[in-house]
Amino acid sequence: MKKQLLPAAALLAYGLADACTMCVTGGPMTPDAPGAHSHGEKLGLGLRHDYFAGDTLYAGSSRGANPEGEHLRQNNTSVSLSYDLSESWSLFAGIRHSAKSYRRTEEINGVDTVVSATESGITDPVLGVQWSPAVFSDEHRYAGFSLFAGVTLPLGDTDRIGEEVAELKAGGHAHGAVHDHDLAMGTGSFGGVFSAAFDYLHGPFVSRISANYTLRPEGDFGYDFADAYGWDIAAGARLMEGGHDRTGVTLLAGVTGEHAGDDRIDGRVYEHTSNHAVYAGPRLRVEHDSWLQANLQLDLPVYAHAGEVALVSSWRLRAAVTLRF
């Protein structure tokens, strides 16, 4: 019964904020919701692509004009592996390639100039472990939670951070809404990723509440990205019941929030780098038997607040496939 119920709720909300601290790595990589596998599958291969268009300027909680058409658009492709040590414990490893296409104002030879370019590379990978015991399960209901703890490895390129710190220490200032630390691929430090989720299913009803926290110590060039946290609430219903050699379809609606404070440089607050956002939208999940799961999620902004000026996506899209062997 656990195998039939739990995969339908596996719509974890990964943080994907659009500027400052959380856009550096595209948000935390964590496992999908756990599930029992009736045919003995232990190895999971996950493929995921996230797109978001940072194309709307916000100053505080107000939407601002964007006459230069500044933007920060990201295409993030993630690959993850998981291995079940038991029904409750599993290991996880994830790595992501990020391509950031941007248009921003730069000072060139003393003149503000609009520049368009692309930055790409591997972001800080994640290694971790997940514990996911069932609390209650019978023929019609299921309740369970999962806890994940992981470490981020400082392998992403941080050269852009160095350029920004050097400019600030020389008395310069950021131009426009896309900063060099937004374009960095890594933080330059070992960090932590923690998440918790609670699933409840009753008949066709499916629900999940989850939260995540990303710990970021000071990294290269004395730059300390602010710790970030997020939350997610999703609920919906199974339109088609899955099972052995059957295809299941679940439709949900979800709301997710992402929050981060100001960054620091050499222990001093880098003012106006905080940002907060809330998104909402529909989610579709398709599963076949116990070896294939696919997710599609659309997010639209319902609230945003930037410390000074930041770009927020007018929409975000996620597509993911998980295969079990």
Q: What is the pLDDT of residues 274-307, one digit of tens each?
A: 889 999 999 999 999 888 999 999 999 999 988 7
CATH of domain 2-151+171-318: 2.40.160
Confidence label for 26 from pLDDT (cuts 50, 70 and 90): low
pLDDT at 260 over 80: yes
Nearest to 312 by CA among 32, 52, 12, 130: 52
Torsion of CA 20, 256, 212, 12, to 10 degrees: -120
pLDDT of 246 reads 85
Looking at residue 96, the DSSP 8-state letter turns out to be E
Say how far apart CA 182 and CA 179 lie, in whole Å: 5
Say how far apart CA 82 and CA 61 lie, in whole Å: 40
Token look-up 């692509």 returns 49
Boundaries of every domain in the chain: 2-151+171-318
pLDDT of 32 reads 64
What is the amino acid identity at position 244? H
Q: Tell me the pLDDT tens digit for each residue of 164-174.
A: 999 898 887 76
Nearest to 88 by CA among 38, 136, 145, 141: 145
pLDDT of 61 reads 83
Nearest to 23 by CA among 280, 316, 283: 316
pLDDT at 232 over 90: yes
263-265 and 89-108 as β-strands: parallel, antiparallel, unpaired?
A: unpaired
The backbone region for 139, taken as left when phi is positive above 0, alpha when psi lies in -120 to 50, beta otherwise, is alpha
What is the amino acid identity at position 203? G
pLDDT at 14 over 60: no
pLDDT of 23 reads 55
Rounded to the nearest integer, the mean pLDDT of the chain is: 86
pLDDT of 139 reads 77
pLDDT at 34 over 90: no
